Structure formats: structure tokens, C-alpha cells
Structure 1
Amino acid sequence: MVDLVIHLADFPLTALADPGQIEQVLMNLATNARDAMPDGGRLAITTERKDVGKNVIGAQGFRATGRYGLVTVSDSGTGMDESTRAKIFEPFFTTKEKGKGTSFRIYLPRVDELVEDVDPEREAAEPQGGTETLLLVEDDADVRALAGTVLREAGYRVLEAVDGQESLERFQAQAKEIDLLIMDVIMPRMGGREAYDRIRELDPGVKVLFISGYTADALDSKGVFGNDTRFLAKPMSPVQLLQKVRAILDGTG
């Protein structure tokens, strides 16, 4: 078991940053930390205020002095060498070589005041939930649990299946209840694409969102799956998942 420890600063740290990208970075780091601790360990996330002066610019690689919000992600698992650190932002890159743990620090330039103006387009892009019934098909138990939690907290009813064969059986039993399929492409027994094609024979109008650890281009090159707007590459952020699900249900994505 991995113990998650979070220490947040006692005061707001306001930065100009894309919340979705920050969420994605933290998710990638947490995933790598989990894979580096197969026997359990400790994952710590901390935030703090950090002021950078001229004396540390050259030594630490900063481009400018100033006020920063520091986010530190630490684990007690395997360490990172130089080549590993260069790949940390690549989805699904992990290492299991022995080491002494990893601490990864993210410095975000702080702003003095919180900007209150709301961009109408950005506000409209905030993910919306719903009450529809979704069939989530994913063989990775961790991914399935996380996605299921995100969707349920947004109000959706979520049915689950561990592979394409089980999804076909569940759809045959509950076809009238299911509004959308969320299907991993590569799974044991029966993949998502084959399962979707067979389910579509039962309901030609069924809606689907494909997900995969491979990109759409990579799947297309393997002859498994073509580039489709109803596709998300894993790991996706909760915001990305909710936005895509809502768009497909509403017929806008």
C-alpha cells in the first residue's frame, strides 16, 4: 500500500498556469511513483512559497528572479537518473531500477493578486456532469477505479466491465439503460474495437468514447484503430474525461 501525505501551504499560492496541465503533471508523477513502489511506500505532495534571488539563478537553472509557488512530489521508491528525468513528462514512462527515491520540484511564478475576471469561453468550457448511465470497460483495475470515481462524483451512473467480452454481455442484459460506452482499445479476451463493433450490431446508434495508453496515430499504424474524435489517450485528466463524455452525450464532440 502507498501512503499519500499532503502538506499544503497555510496561505494561498496564486499562479498563472493551466489547471489541466498542472493536473496532468501531478497525475504522471503520481503514476510513476506508484510503479516505483511495488511493495508500498510513501508519496508526499507539498506546496510552499519560494523566493528566488540572484544568487541561485545560475546554480538552480532559473531564468529570472522572483516569487514562486513550489510544488514538490516525493516518493520512497526508485530514483531517477538523467535519462529518466528527461522523460518524466512522457505519458506512461516508468522505471523500476533500484535507487533512493525521487523528489520532483515544480516552480510556478506567483502573481500578487488573484484575478477575478472570468473568461466567458473558459467558464463555458468547465466540465459538466450528468445523470446518464455509462458502461466503463477497462482491464486495468486502477484506471477503472479512478475513472469510475470521477464519473460517479459528476453524477453519472457507472457500470463496469473488465474486458470486451464482459462488456458485450453487460450490454446485452442492460442495453436500454446504457447511454455511452467508454472502452479501452487493447484488452484481453476481446478488445474494445471488436466489442464495439459487435455491440453496434445490437444498437447501431450506440455512442462510444475510446481510451488507450497508445495514441490514436500509434493505434492506426498498428491497424487497430483509426484517428477518431471520440478518443482520449491515457492518462487523461478528470477535466478532459468529463468534457469529452459530456460532449459526446450532447452530440457536440
Structure 2
Amino acid sequence: TKERIFEPFFTTKEMGRGTGLGLATVYGIIKNHDGFINVYSEKGEGTTFTIYLPASEKEVVKERMISDEILKGAETILLVDDEDMIIEVGREMLKAVGYKVLIARSGQEAIAIYRKKQDKIDMVILDMVMPYISGGETYNRLKEINPRIKVLLSSGYSIDGQASEILDRGCNGFIQKPFNIKGLSRKIREILDS
């Protein structure tokens, strides 16, 4: 198992409880930053991941910018992701900045919830890679229900490729995982206030 944990789509979870992309995404992000990751695991004790990244040669700027502010809201957001960690962290971030949060763990569930509660949902945060129905297909179906739907696409992959195709079809924005509360709050306000 340890030898395969960074392979895309490898998972020890039951079918439908994760895509097996979490650690593959982490590995990809670390490699893109010229870093590496070590894994130490002991049965019955747990696992430790140690990440090594090269130090930046750029000068540290201590200037506070307006864009660093956490922007709050009170709207209702449907958060769609098949990874439990993203759901839990995302829900807490959104609640912390004032939003009401509905959760869907699959494209099918998102479509069903949106169909039932679209008049109460102001925006959807949609994972791009999910089992059964992809984020792109889910987006198309949501757009059929409401052509003016506001959607923020999220992915551990870069905006190139499939994400840019979905954006070209009218999706309102993109945020790369892992995201932080400042970046997420800013993207949400950009979309809701447009």
C-alpha cells in the first residue's frame, strides 16, 4: 500500500468514498514546487508525512494589502466534493465567514439538492474530479436547471486543460486546492458580487 499511495485513483476506501486523488494531488503540488515528500508509517501507530520544499530566494515583503482581508457574506453555498477532508474543512471555512452551507458528496447528490433548493442556493463550489459524474458533467446539468447559476470550480489540478474548458462554458471562477480562507472568501465575493 505504501508504495502506491501517491498513484492517481489508488484508494483503500470503499467505492464512492473518495477518488484516490488526495495524495496524488499533494504529490503533484509538491513536485511542481521542486520539493519531495517522505512517508513513515507504523502499523497501529499512524503515519507521518514530511514535506521538503526549497527555500525561496525572493525577498519577504511584509506589506499588508487590502486583498489579504477575509471577506464575509451571509448567502447560502452548496459545497460539492467527494473528499471528506475537503467537505469538513470547506464547511468550517465557509461558516467562519458567515455563509450557510449545504453539502453534496457527489455530482448526483448536488443535482438533486440544487433541483430541490435552487431558490435558496446563491452559489455552488464544485469539485472538478469526482466518481460517476465528473465536475464538468455536473456543471452542465446544473446549468440546464438554472442557466444563471453561479459556480466556483475547485480542483487540485491547475486551471489548464479540463478546468479551462469548463470555464469557457460559462463557469464563473476557479480556485486551486488546497485553498485558504482568504483566497476562498475573495473568490466567492468576486462571483457573488458580479
- TM-score of the alignment, normalized to the shorter chain, above 0.5: yes
AA at the equivalent of 1:207: K
1:204 corresponds in structure 2 to: 147
Give the distance between the partners of 2:88 and 2:154, measured in 1 at CA: 15
1:196 offset after TM fit, Å?
Answer: 1.4
Give the distance between the partners of 2:107 and 2:36, measured in 1 at CA: 26
1:241 corresponds in structure 2 to: 184
Q: Percent identity?
A: 31
Paired residues of 2:172 and 2:191 also in contact (CA < 8 A)? no
AA at the equivalent of 1:250: D
AA at the equivalent of 1:139: D
1:184 offset after TM fit, Å?
Answer: 0.3
AA at the equivalent of 1:212: S
2:117 corresponds in structure 1 to: 174
> Deviation per CA, 1:129-160, whole angstroms, max 9, x where unpaired?
11100000000000111011000010000000
Give the distance between the partners of 1:143 and 1:154, measured in 2 at CA: 16
Match of 2:132 among 189, 192, 195: 189
> Deviation per CA, 1:212-232, whole angstroms, max 9, x where unpaired?
0111114359xx645776001
Partner SS state of residue 245, structure 1: helix
Match of 2:80 among 137, 143, 146: 137
Paired residues of 2:150 and 2:172 also in contact (CA < 8 A)? no
Between stretches 209-218 and 162-171, larger displacement belongs to 209-218
1:124/1:212 Cα in 2 relative to 1: closer, same or farther (>3 Å)? Answer: closer
Confirm whether residue 153 of structure 1 aligns to residue 88 of structure 2: no
Partner SS state of residue 126, structure 2: strand
1:169/1:126 Cα in 2 relative to 1: closer, same or farther (>3 Å)? Answer: same
1:226/1:175 Cα in 2 relative to 1: closer, same or farther (>3 Å)? Answer: closer
Give the distance between the partners of 1:236 and 1:164, measured in 2 at CA: 21
Greater C-alpha radius of gyration: 1
Give the distance between the partners of 1:217 and 1:233, measured in 2 at CA: 11
Specify every segment of 5 or more residues in structure 1 that has no aligned partner in the other structure, as ranges.
Answer: 1-37, 39-83, 109-114
| Aligned Cα root-mean-square deviation (Å) | 3.6
Count of matched residue pairs: 156
TM-score with structure 1 length normalisation?
Answer: 0.52
2:23 corresponds in structure 1 to: none
1:219/1:200 Cα in 2 relative to 1: closer, same or farther (>3 Å)? Answer: closer
1:213/1:201 Cα in 2 relative to 1: closer, same or farther (>3 Å)? Answer: same
Give the distance between the partners of 2:91 and 2:34, measured in 1 at CA: 20
Paired residues of 1:208 and 1:230 also in contact (CA < 8 A)? yes
Give the distance between the partners of 2:67 and 2:53, measured in 1 at CA: 32
Give the distance between the partners of 1:182 and 1:195, measured in 2 at CA: 11
